[in-house]
Amino acid sequence: MQHSIRKSEAEDVAAERRKQAVVEQVMVDQLSRAVISDPEQSTRADVSKEAHGFPGFGTAPMHFRKRTLHETKIRTKSGLTENMLSNKLRFDSRVISRNGRDACRELIGFFFACDRSLTVYEFRQFGKNRTNALPFIQKGVYQHQRGQKKGKAYDLSDFYIGANLTFRSVDHNLPESFKQNPVLTLRVIGIDEAAMDFLKASSVELKQECSKQVVDNSKIFKKIQGTLRETLKKRGVRVITGLGKYFRNVDKNRNGFLSRADFKEALKVFHLEIPEEDFESLWLILDDSKSGKVEYGEFTRAVFGEMNEYRKAFVRKAYMKLDFNKTGSVPMVDIRKCYCAKKHPLVLAGKATEEEIKSSFLETLGESCSNPNEVSYSEFEDYYEGLSIGIMDDEDFVNILRNPWGI
């Protein structure tokens, strides 16, 4: 237990160091960019001085002009200052994706109160000793792409644990895997509470009230989830993993989107009864673009709910331990090697052997996989999503992950 505590504390320290490294990189990037690109750096006097002896050079684009470092002004009237950039909210986020490589990206974002802009950086490990913080979403003022606030710029009230931030995929230089979905969704999984308290105290614009539409949508989701709650308590793992496999088989285009008829048929196949009126209300909310198709991960989250971010962080941690190269899939052989049933309650009580528990786990997980020889992140998450439904206490759930995977 002491070893486990020391290990956990060391991981927390390493995580905090990573965040501080990202904060430092963001400040360097933004301050440098603000100083270099400020229009005040190129006044008419400077241009004429630079152009002396070079006819027509004064009208050349900025990147062709020569300005040495000692001619660059450190203080400018309109440029961002360190003080302005210091009024920022740091938040941790993850990509909502069925792709394991993307879902496990380590993203740290910043919201700047001075101009309501935001940026998101990715912490990357290159080999054993080299790390870097790279821009994932460039600094800018962005608008909601979905929901009741579509078209409105982000403000401080949009940042809380569990909040979704949406961006147009085409507006950013993202990997190919993101381009299948026109909207990139980031889930806020952690907030710098001290910074939030400071910004709330100094903000006069903060509005926390939810719109009537958001409240009504939430009621519909909760009503449907309540209808299916008892059914899922008895067979949650089988239903969630089975549905995931069913959707992947039906999805011939491999883009993650299915039609209303596909979802209705899936509910029928798995004997999940939702009143017609509730299903229509649900569809109107999810298909807000009127495309006739909905991403099936979003559909299952709305119908069944999802485990909280505290639990999900441990699921991701377990998977990343198995998939340390972040390929998005883990060979079943590695799962078998790493899974340890020594501390399982039934084994400790003498009611089952370690091999019996391991075989049962591997059989259930294997049945949910499209390829029986490997486990994708979405299949791994589906298993624990189903398991989570029947476990009320967060620490009980976390222990179920800690014991077999050693995290």
What average pLDDT does range 1-16 have in this prediction? Answer: 70
For residue 317, pLDDT over 80 is answered with yes
pLDDT value of residue 130: 65
Using CA atoms, how far residue 62 sits from 36, 43, 199, 364, in Å, is 10, 12, 37, 62
pLDDT for the residue 148: 76
Work out the pLDDT band at 118, boundaries 50, 70, 90. very high
Please give the helix or strand (H or E) that residue 375 lies within, else none: strand 374-376
| Per-residue pLDDT, 195 | 87
The C-alpha atoms of residue 361 and residue 125 are separated, in whole angstroms, by 32
Question: pLDDT band for position 153 (50/70/90)?
Answer: very high
Q: What is the pLDDT of residue 143?
A: 93
- Token representation of residue 300: 């299952």
Sheet strands (E) in 243-354: 257-259, 293-295, 329-331
Among residues 106, 14, 12, which one has the least CA distance to residue 316?
A: 106
Out of 41-50, 128-137, 295-304, 387-396, least confident range: 41-50
| End-to-end CA, the chain | 12
> Which range (145-159, 196-210, 219-233) has the least confidence?
196-210
**Amino acid (one-letter) located at 260:** R
Cβ neighbours of 109 (radius 10 Å): 23
Whether the Cβ atoms of residue 141 and residue 153 lie closer than 8 Å to each other:
yes
pLDDT at 22 over 90: no
| pLDDT computed for residue 342 by the predictor | 87
**pLDDT tens digits for range 80-113:** 566 667 788 999 999 988 777 888 888 999 998 8
pLDDT tier, 287 (very low <50, low <70, confident <90, very high otherwise): confident
pLDDT at site 135: 86
Most confident of 43-52, 157-166, 200-209: 157-166
Average pLDDT over residues 162-175: 88
Higher per-residue pLDDT: 175 or 353? 353
* Helix pair 309-322, 377-389: axis angle to 10 deg: 140
Q: For 197, phi and psi rounded to 5 degrees?
A: -60, -40
* Predicted local distance difference test score (pLDDT) of residue 109: 92
E-assigned strand segments in 65-196: 88-95, 107-112, 117-126, 130-140, 164-168, 183-191
Helices vs strands, H then E, count in the chain: 15, 10
pLDDT score of 330 more than 60: yes
User: Quick check: helix, strand or coil at residue 47?
Assistant: helix
d(CA 79, CA 320): 41
pLDDT band at 120 (very low <50, low <70, confident <90, very high): very high
pLDDT of residue 53: 45
Q: Taking the model in full, what pTM does it have?
A: 0.72
- 27-41, 150-164, 275-289: least confident range: 27-41
Q: What was the pLDDT predicted at 51?
A: 44
pLDDT band, very low/low/confident/very high, at 167 (cuts 50, 70, 90): very high
pLDDT over 70, % of the chain? 80
Q: Return the DSSP state at 79.
A: S
Q: Are 88 and 112 in contact (CB under 8 A)?
A: yes
What lies within 8 Å, CB to CB, of 188 at 6+ separation is 91, 92, 93, 109, 159, 160, 161, 162, 163, 164, 165
